[in-house]
Amino acid sequence: MKILVLNSGSSSQKTCLYEISETLPEDPPACLWEGKIEWDGEVAATVVKDA
């Protein structure tokens, strides 16, 4: 199962996509994909990474 996690703050948006098997892992899995948007007034920056 794939799970998309969104974390919205007042000046940022962070996103991670995880793949979780039927049994929960002991340690948190690494992101398959992650994105980050930060803004401050009129300036914004975007970062996207894959595994």
Kindly state the greatest CA–CA separation across the chain: 44
Q: Which pLDDT tens digit goes with each residue over 1-51? A: 999 999 999 999 999 999 988 888 889 889 999 999 999 888 888 888 887
Candidates 47, 35, 37; CA nearest to 11 is 37
Which single residue is written with the structure tokens 């300036």?
43
Res 18: pLDDT: 94
Res 23: pLDDT: 86
Res 50: pLDDT: 85
Res 38: pLDDT: 92
Alpha-carbon distance 3 to 42, whole Å? 32
